[in-house]
Amino acid sequence: MSAKVTWLIVFVLMYWAYCIYWGVRGAQLAKTASDYFISGRKLPMWVFVLAATATSFSGWTFMGHPGLIYRDGFQYAYASFYVITIPFTGVMFLKRQWILGKRFGYVTPGEMLSDYFKGDMIRVLVVIVALCFSVPYLGLQLAASGKLFNVLSDGLWGVTTGTWVLAAIVALYVGLGGLRSVAYVDTLQCVLLWFGIIAIGFIAYDLVGGWGALNEGLAKVALVEGTKWGRTP
């Protein structure tokens, strides 16, 4: 086993221990449904901001998005505008939703919409839409994580094994601690994401041989035929 894989296992185990800790801690603090599902409406602002930022990222950020830019050219980079549209959506709607939830004691969006439209059918519809989105989305994220773990461990862990182990850890801390556990785990994830993105940028810059070599390489990529929309301008 190489030193890289050894350190990978050490840090992954430390991260899993952190996740399980917050799962147990969240279970101890969750006395009511409100505590479990919305952390008793008492999440610190800095935790919410970091957790919401981490939630906006996914396996697509590190695997799908760079790969599609490489395949289709820089015109695909327009998708990066999600970093603007997601917070903008929050500014437009989340404050009003928070005010309504605090005023009337709503715990879920379905509860709020059911009260507003005076019927339970909308509640069922919200659940169906949430499941139709969340189940495939979560499956893709876990599959991406399993693939990444397989590559980083030099094949020591298979993709399927890594996916199921990661799924078990997620199910454990989310099931035990609810939103509070998710928020504090996401807070650490956000810090790791920022550090990882910056570190990967410096590593890539060093590997390509500097700014001049980077521009030369990009010019060659721009001439490659067969991208989705032809040549990169």
Place of tokens 């715990």: 107
Would you state the structure tokens that stand for residue 46, as one six-digit string? Answer: 């800095």
Confidence of residue 24 (pLDDT cuts 50, 70, 90): very high
For 53-96, the pLDDT digits (tens) are 887 776 677 777 777 777 777 777 777 787 788 778 777 887 78
- What are all long-range contacts of 125-131, with beta carbons under 8 Å and residues at least 24 apart? none
The CA distance from 16 to 60, in Å, is 22
Confidence of residue 20 (pLDDT cuts 50, 70, 90): very high
The proportion of the chain whose per-residue pLDDT surpasses 70, expressed as a percent, equals: 94
Question: Structural domain boundaries of the chain?
Answer: 3-222
For 144-193, the pLDDT digits (tens) are 888 888 888 888 888 888 889 989 999 999 999 998 999 999 999 889 88
Other residues' Cβ atoms within 10 Å of the Cβ of residue 132: 10
Please tell me whether the overall predicted TM-score, pTM, comes out greater than 0.95 for this model.
Answer: no
